[in-house]
Amino acid sequence: MKAILIAAGKGTRLYPLTKNTPKSLLEVGDGVTLLETQLHSLHENDIRDVVIIVGYKAEQIEAKIRQYKTDFNITTVYNPFYDCSNNLLSVWMARHYMNDEFITINGDDLFAPAVIEGLLKSKHNITMVIDQKEHYDDDDMKVVHSDGLIREVSKKIPMDRANGESIGMIKFSGQGPDIYKNVLEDMVRDPDNRNVFYLMAVQEMINRGFPVHYSLCNENDWGELDFHPDLMMLREYVSQENLVDKIFPDKK
């Protein structure tokens, strides 16, 4: 199993914190970066093959991962268009690493190992991780699901219609990689798609009749770093879960 981390963006909503640092290298507790928490959760699930899509401040991420070369097989893919496109193009840039089963993960997610563990149990071609909560907001990547399948995914779904939220993690197995690559190839040919989220490709797969299943995770087992208050909550989670001790047992 391979993990593809989508980490090319500038993270402008976190300025000035990301003015000179990529979002994935922001510290979320006692010197531990967001990227390191992701690597920890992958390592706990025996996933060692990692591709990181980089762009903004790529050299900092590439310098950071050198210390993990003995524990992981890490490759970076550079998106030179990170400053003038959305992440659909970033994912397309990594298409050559999508020949076997893989998981795509948003570079700004923090998640417990249990989230990956639950996803790996799915035997379907395409499986999206979602959570469910009482209230959704405009910035949530909302979903509508029924009968075990995702029917819609978009931030534009009305809040009263949403019954789940995509956490930014999807597994492609079996025929899934080929289906995904074909849709990505079709979509990047349309100039209007250069500034859309990669989850538009998931919606396109649904529109074409390909079933997208879901794996339900606990709302408290993950977090997303988009705004300044998010960083405070993630740091609290890292502290409560003693992640520093788990990742760096000799740090303290």
Written as one string, the DSSP assignment of the chain is: -EEEEEE----GGGTTTTSSS-GGGSEEETTEEHHHHHHHHHHHTT--EEEEEE-TTHHHHHHHGGGGTTT-EEEEEE-TTTTSS-HHHHHHHTGGG-SS-EEEEETTEEE-HHHHHHHHT--SSEEEEEE--S---TTS-EEEEETTEEEEEETTS-TTT--EEEEEEEEE-TTHHHHHHHHHHHHHTSGGGGGS-THHHHHHHHHTT---EEEE--GGGEEE--SHHHHHHHHHHHHHTTHHHHH-TT--
User: What does pTM read for this prediction?
Assistant: 0.93
Question: Is residue 245 scored above 70 in pLDDT?
Answer: no
Structural domain boundaries in the chain: 2-244
Mean pLDDT confidence for 53-63: 96
Which CATH number is 2-244's, of 3.40.1390.10, 3.40.50.300, 3.90.550.10, 3.30.70.20? 3.90.550.10
What pLDDT digit, counting tens, does each position of 152-189 carry? Answer: 999 999 999 999 999 999 999 999 999 999 999 999 99
pLDDT for 242: 65
